[in-house]
């Protein structure tokens, strides 16, 4: 994959008394709080960076599971893309680090959690027309920004939209792709219940 936006790794710092290097962060730099969610490859926790007291969501992934499922490249692509996106309606990735067994993604914390769960708690499991229009507008603006950056998300669904006090954030860029060329894509990916018609029909797709 071509690397978007002059991709660089998280900066590293040198030990004062040695020539060795260590990651900018380690798990010891964070206080872990409650679990926010669980996925196939790990869990997401509410966390606080000890020095700055900054609140984040820390996604902890198991290396063995990633390797077993052969998704290392997919994770790398997710980090490359999400780290360099900057829009109020896209969940920020502040950085990442790793140790021998885990990979850690430092993400913006969205207080309201998944839009899907919030929607299920509404009367008749639906929003008012006014609120729905507001949320759709926010998602459309985020998608417009992504497409200007030549990024296709490819797994847009209520579970991947987070509600941060009325501000909608697109999250989970695991299936995203950087596609600056004008050619159409053929990969069948995403969540079955939300696949677009062109994927279901076996046709090619683009932004």
Binding positions: 40, 59, 108-110, 159-160, 172
Active-site position among 19, 155, 193, 203: 155
- The CA distances from residue 27 to 2, 18, 61, 92, 203, in Å, are 30, 21, 12, 19, 44
99-132 residues labelled b (16+ CB within 10 A) or e (exposed)? eeeebbbbbbbbeeebbeeebeeeeeeebeeeee
Bridge partners, 22 (sequence order): 13
150 catalytically annotated = no
Write the Ramachandran bin of 131: left for phi over 0, alpha for psi from -120 to 50, otherwise beta.
Answer: alpha
Residues annotated within the binding site for ATP are 40, 59, 108-110, 159-160, 172
Q: Which residues are catalytic?
A: 155
């Amino acid at each position: 994959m071509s690397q978007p936006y002059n991709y660089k790794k998280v900066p590293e710092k040198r030990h004062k008394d040695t020539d060795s290097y260590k990651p900018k962060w380690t798990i010891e730099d964070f206080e872990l709080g409650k679990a926010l969610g669980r996925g196939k490859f790990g869990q997401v926790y509410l966390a606080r960076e000890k020095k700055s007291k900054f609140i984040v969501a820390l996604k902890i992934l198991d290396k063995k599971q990633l390797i077993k499922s052969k998704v290392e490249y997919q994770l790398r692509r997710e980090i490359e893309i999400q780290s360099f996106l900057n829009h109020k309606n896209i969940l920020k990735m502040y950085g990442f680090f790793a140790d021998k067994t885990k990979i850690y993604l430092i993400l913006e914390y969205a207080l309201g959690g998944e839009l899907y769960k919030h929607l299920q708690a509404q009367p008749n499991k639906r929003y008012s027309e006014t609120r729905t229009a507001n949320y759709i507008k926010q998602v459309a603006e985020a998608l417009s920004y992504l497409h200007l950056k030549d990024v296709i998300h490819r797994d847009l669904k209520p579970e991947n939209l987070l509600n941060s006090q009325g501000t909608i954030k697109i999250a989970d860029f695991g299936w995203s792709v950087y596609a600056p060329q004008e050619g159409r894509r053929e990969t069948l990916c995403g969540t079955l219940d939300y696949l677009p018609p062109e994927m279901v029909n076996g046709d090619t797709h683009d932004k």
